[in-house]
Amino acid sequence: MDKLNQSSDNSVQSAPSDNKVANDGTGVVQLDGYLEPFKPQLRSRFSKAQKWINDIDNSEGGLEKFSRGYERYGFNIASDGTITYREWAPNAMRAYLIGDFNGWNRDSHEMKRDDFGVWEIVLPPHNGQPAIAHDSKVKISMVVPNDGQRAERIPVWIKRVTQDLNISPIYDARFWNPPQKYKFKNPRPPKPASARIYEAHVGISSPDPKVATYSEFTKNVLPRIKHLGYNTIQLMAIMEHAYYASFGYQINSFFAASSRYGFPDELKELIDTAHGLGITVLLDVVHSHASKNVHDGLNYFDNSDHLYFHEGARGRHELWDSRLFNYGNHEVLRFLLSNLRFWMEEYNFDGFRFDGVTSMLYTHHGIGTGFSGGYHEYYGPDVDEDGVVYLMIANEMLHNLYPSCITIAEDVSGMPALCVALSLGGIGFDYRLAMAIPDLYIKWLKEKQDIDWDMGALCHTLTNRRHGEKTIAYAESHDQALVGDKTLLFWLCDAQMYTNMSTLSEFTPVIERGMALHKMIRLITHALGGEGYLNFEGNEFGHPEWLDFPREGNGNSFHYARRQFNLPDDSLLRYKFLNEFDSKMQWTEEKYGWLHSPQAYISLKNESDKVIVFERAGLLWIFNFHPSSSFTDYRVGVEQAGTYKIVLNSDDPEFGGLGRVKNDGRFFTTDFKWNERKNFVQVYIPTRTAIVLALEQTI
């Protein structure tokens, strides 16, 4: 099992009192006693992070100033139109700025070098206008040590690059200086108490076989997300990447929003519009590695192997075929921290999902390594302390500068204290992804009959996390939707999705089962699995097909690189039922707030009946996973006495159910201890049905 979710035996129980917390990075030991033997490693991480912060305070004026590197490096324009361009390239012997502005003359605009290897050129305005025209092409041309050859590169801090595949796959750098700057109309929303995340990719967000645009997402997809009740969007593949089919994970220009989907201001409008709807927007940030492209990436920028990356084998990721950052380098820290700050300031993002965190935490990058959950794995020689410290500093900076900022870690290893503050010796993320949960569902759907589903194992997987470190639960994400796998509904219904998802066709046992389990799996994951919830776009309505980007292997087809939003909009198709159930689920959470409520109390895991019962946020949750048995007057324990009514019912015909459970029923508690609860109610729970009850006065 994926060890992101640690045993509850190792769980964080409660926060220590302030006057007892050590200030040497070992405060987390009071949260988790199993960390006691690893105090030296905790102190080492913490002291290294503090040393970096102190050094930056002394040499750079603090993290706030240090993280504004984009205001010094790259192209910056003064109010009078003067352009200053700076680039760090210590290995270069000479450097020149070239572009449309000077007819690509390789010698006319030579740059000056300072003692730290930073090259600079100042271009005064010409006839009252900037010397470089808006959106014109530019490059840096460097004379490098190997026989004095020229190395012509895209500027590292460039804010816009474009690609014309009809000419070449290599990107062009653009001097982006629009005459009117975009003005944001809406403030950032407050940090959501419950993070309900809609994971989305702009390019696939259309039923049409094409690359969709920022503007189309704003117009067509944002209203869907609002209707569904998600309060957070996680945007994938925004940082400019060399190859569309890489899903955004081969970044070549870290400060450029992908031009595939439109112009920078259109992305700003997307975020601004989402904020106006009260929706938080996160960026999927890739600081775990970079494209190995030379002509339009960071690799061999000044013809050295180790400018931004580790030199030699340590600087290369074997599986990803990409370059690995040297997190212990001063200028690399400036670059990466400034990159985070740029996206927060320039585009008004509200936080980040950090991709590939496992690769950053360990020198083996998770390659060929299974994590047993033993703490020695998290504090042994395989840990990349520089990577750990970078993440500590990044989280500290972001949360100090932006109190509403959200950071999420994608880590499969289960690193303790990942979501604990730096002051206690933690790495400082807000949330971690519960990556073991979708693995369980896929494994069971592939290998088990429904009657063999283990209710205890299901509950264990959903609750087996480091309590006190918030977790984002999900039944499936983009990983499960990619080609080579299948969406949950596809696993459940397979070929009948193409023949029996119309309301005019037979409601077959396969479709009935698939729709019922699709709803139940998502609901129990939402309710029991964490302190946040995530869904990949389209999966809320049971998207019928996997995700596969245009590539040589599929004839460069867009057929599977799109989301068929037309399906839930068709009143004759059953996808609408799943879509509306998902919406009801999100809005019910908005009302009752179970994601930010304490851990659920599970009162029943009945293996023979396949029934699970628990309480969370004052709600009573009842699941019958039995494939054939329904139960009348089933006795269910509940702590709080009163009259209960149904607030969510997977069997509701509005959600494609059979209507066996009526929503207008009232359930009266009996003062008799049952399943270690003070009272019980009796309910009818048909096969493959979930119902959620609330006290009548709360409805």
> What is the Cα–Cα distance from 328 to 649, expressed in whole angstroms?
53
3-state secondary structure of 577: helix
Bridge partner list, 611: 606, 624
> What is the Cα–Cα distance from 697 to 699, expressed in whole angstroms?
6
Find the distance separating the first CA and the last CA of the chain, reported in whole Å. 39
> What is the Cα–Cα distance from 26 to 36, expressed in whole angstroms?
8
CA distance readout (Å), 251 to 323, 409, 440: 10, 18, 31
Bridge partner list, 644: 667, 695
Q: Give, in degrees to the nearest 5, the angle at Cα 49 between 43 and 50.
A: 85
Q: Give, in degrees to the nearest 5, the angle at Cα 243 between 241 and 247.
A: 75
Bridge partner list, 362: 383
Torsion sign (Cα): 12, 599, 608, 671: positive
Amino acid at 432: R
- DSSP 8-state class, residue 236: E
Phi, psi of 37 (to 5 degrees): -70, -10
- Residue 380 CB partners (closer than 8 Å, separation 6+): none
103: left (phi > 0), else alpha (psi -120 to 50), else beta? left
> What is the Cα–Cα distance from 348 to 354, expressed in whole angstroms?
17
Half-sphere exposure of 689 (CA within 13 A, CB side): 25
Point out the catalytic residue in the list 350, 410, 430, 540: 410
Q: 550-560 b/e with 16+ CB inside 10 Å = b?
A: beeeeeeebeb
Listed in order, strand segments (DSSP E) in 167-279 are 172-174, 195-201, 232-236, 239-241, 251-257
The two three-digit tokens of residue 95, written as one number = 């450097």
Q: What share of the chain is helix, strand, coil (3-state, %, to 5)?
A: 35, 25, 45
Amino acid at 272: D
> What is the Cα–Cα distance from 89 to 156, expressed in whole angstroms?
10
- Residues written for the chain: 699
Phi, psi of 180 (to 5 degrees): -115, 125
Point out the catalytic residue in the list 302, 355, 411, 469: 355
The answer to whether 443 and 408 are in contact (CB under 8 A) is no
The two three-digit tokens of residue 171, written as one number = 């990107």
3-state secondary structure of 94: strand
User: Which helix (H) or strand (E) covers residue 567, if one does?
Assistant: helix 566-569
Answer yes or no: 355 catalytic: yes
Residues acting as catalytic residues: 355, 410
